[in-house]
Amino acid sequence: MLLKRLFPVIGFAALAIAVQLGAGALGKEFYLTQLTMAIYYAIVVMGLCLLMGFAGQVSLGHGAFFAIGGYTSAVLTTSDFSRFQDSLWAAALKRIHVLIPKADLYGGQVLTTTPWAAFVAAMLLTFLIACLIGYPALRLKGHYLAMATLGFCLIVNKIVLGTAWLGAADGISGVPEWNLAGGLVISGRSAVRVQNYYAACALALFLLILLANLVHSRVGRALQAIHDRETAAGAIGINTARYKLNAFVLSALLAAAAGVFLTHYTAGIGPSEASALKSVRYVALAAAGGMSNPWGAALVSTAINFLSLRGWFGTYDNAVFGAVLILIISIAPQGPLKPLGLWIRRLLSGARSAAGGEHAAS
């Protein structure tokens, strides 16, 4: 039993190492950069899996939560608070190292927020917004919820596009690197490429284990019950509204965290992160991996996003995601991995019995 639970963890770790060694051996280490980005995007998809596959709710607003996380940390770490230097709160924040003085590009002194503090702020803001949106939205179901979250996403996108201090159409660039701890730096520099790749893998793996445990816990079973039949779940005493809200907020937090990490990794963020198409893309990827299978979703979404970031799909990028959505839902609504596994097994046993048949004939 323990082995069965541990198997995917070991498999994922082995796969991550194999990919890094393979890329190194082929002299294509630069692949790891896009792979790292794809893994961060996969974290959004994992959160969405929890919401869609277990709580049974669709959100078309996760691009917005990603953007809220990314933009909060980008704004806080790039703006200069030195004009508030003499105020009481700035001094207090400086004392607890939330604000730190730094030399800017031209040698002047600026006062910016540390990435860690910005991360915490981004999480808090996302928590607040997710509760505000989630509380009324989750009383709605199906179509209504999808439309409400889509409306929220479009509002965030329009606000970002129309606000000068959020960089409008250009987005925010020049986000500093994030010194996590013990020399581990979230940054896109090629010197720390491998290190960052493993950091992203470790984060994703940690979150996957967390999700897997959550799903197998009392909370997970409650969510599963809500997914299957909400009225019945309520009748046996599950507080459906609260569980749905918790799942929604948790998955929003995962999206925002991914946004913070990716913003530091690519040193910037743009308004397209909050576009409706991005949100739809996350839903497509969650569906492509099998919604109630976070492991599969993480794997499939990393692979597809990696190909997309490498430009494999050319101008058909969005069309590929649309087609993936339609095909998977109409042919294999449980996700392609399980039917594929069955099919391969049947093919193998078919080949074996065919071989057996030939023996009998001869």
Partner 1 sequence: MGDDSLFLQYLLSGITKGSIYAVVAIGFNLIYSATGVLNFAQGEFVMLGGMIAVTLCAFLPLPVAVAAAVVIVALTGCLLEILFFRKLRHHTIMHMIIITIGLSIVIQEVALHLWDEKVRSLPYFSGSEVSSIRIFGASVSPQVLWVLGTVAVVVVLLHAFLRYTLQGRAMRACSSNPDAAMLSGINISNMRTLSFGLSAALGALAGCVISPITMTHYEMGAPLAIKGFAAAILGGLGNPMASVVGGLLIGVIEAFSVSKLPAAYNDVTAFALLLLMLFVRPHGLFGSPSGESVREV
Residues interacting with partner 1, by CB under 8 A? 52, 56, 58, 60, 136-137, 139-144, 146-148, 150-152, 154-155, 158-159, 161-163, 168, 276-277, 280, 283-284, 287, 315-316, 318-319, 321-326, 329-330, 333
CB of 299 to partner 1, least distance (A): 20
Tokens of 336: 């392609």
14 versus 326: smaller Cβ distance to partner 1? 326
Cβ proximity to partner 1, 137 vs 175, nearer residue: 137
Cβ atoms within 10 Å, residue 199: 19
C-beta of 252: minimal distance to partner 1 in Å?
A: 16
Start-to-end Cα distance in the chain: 44
The residue (of 151 and 188) whose beta carbon lies closer to partner 1 is 151
Cα(179)–Cα(143) distance, integer angstroms: 42
- Residue 89: CB atoms within 10 Å: 11
How far apart are CB 323 and partner 1 at their closest, in Å? Answer: 6
Min dist CB 143 to partner 1, Å, is 4
3-class SS of residue 81? coil
Using an 8 Å Cβ cutoff, are 286 and 49 in contact? Answer: yes
Chain centroid, CA 106 distance in Å: 36
Find the shortest distance in angstroms from Cβ 274 to partner 1: 13
Crossing angle of helices 193-215 and 294-309, rounded to 10°: 150
Instruction: List the beta strands (DSSP E) in the chain.
Output: 99-103, 109-113, 172-173, 178-181, 184-186, 268-269
Taking the complex as a whole, the smallest distance from the CB of residue 134 to partner 1 amounts, in Å, to 11
- Smallest separation, CB 218 to partner 1 (Å): 24
Amino acid at 128: L
If the CB atoms of residues 74 and 133 are measured against partner 1, the closer one turns out to be: 133
Q: How far is the CB of 52 from partner 1 (least distance, A)?
A: 7
**Count of other CB atoms within 10 angstroms of residue 182:** 6
Counting every residue written for the chain, the total comes to 362
Nearer to partner 1, 15 or 323 (CB): 323
Sign of the CA dihedral with 34 first, then 39, 42, and 43 last: negative
When the beta carbons of 315 and 362 are compared against partner 1, the nearer one is 315
Closer of 175 and 283 to partner 1 (Cβ)? 283
- For tokens 């910005």, what's the residue? 118
Nearer to partner 1, 330 or 362 (CB): 330
Token digits for 99? 């604000």
